[in-house]
Amino acid sequence: PTYAGQPTAMVYFDIESSEPAKLVAARSPIAKRAELVRVDSPGPDAAPKVVTELPVAAKQVTRLALHGDHVRLLDIQQDLAAGARVPLELTFVDGKGRRTEIKTEAVVRGIVARPPEKAN
C-alpha cells in the first residue's frame, strides 16, 4: 500500500516459464512509467540498480520480491490501498527474440507506510 501522495510503489511477483526468457518492460495505467530493478545481492543493505531486462529461468520460479529484483512504478496517479487491484502489462522476450505481452494484475497487500517527516 502507499500513503496519500506517495510517488512510487514496488511490485513483487513470481514468474514461471517453460523456456528461458527476459522480462524487458512493465507498464501500468496507474503510473507514468515503470522501471525494472536488479538487486545483485538480495538483502536490506543491497544497492538496487535500474536495468533494461531481468532474466527469467526455465522450469523454475523466478521471484521478484522485497530486498530483491522488482518492478518500480513511478509517478503513481492514485493512492493504493490494501486490497486494490493494479493492472500490469509485462513484456517478455524469449531466446528467439519473440516478444510476448502478458496482461495481469497485482493485488495490493501489506501495511501502509507513513509519509516521510518534513524537515523544519
Q: How far is CA 22 from CA 82, 97, 98, 115, 120, in A?
A: 29, 10, 11, 34, 46
HSE, CB side, 13 Å, CA atoms: give it for residue 113.
12
Give me the helices (H) in the chain, please.
none
Q: Among positive and negative, which fits the CA dihedral 47, 29, 112, 116? A: positive
What is the grid cell recorded at 30?
496507474
pLDDT at residue 116 greater than cutoff 80: no
Q: What is the pLDDT of residues 46-94, one digit of tens each?
A: 788 999 999 999 999 999 998 889 999 999 998 888 888 999 999 999 9
Q: What is the pLDDT of residues 27-57, one digit of tens each?
A: 999 999 999 999 987 666 778 899 999 999 9
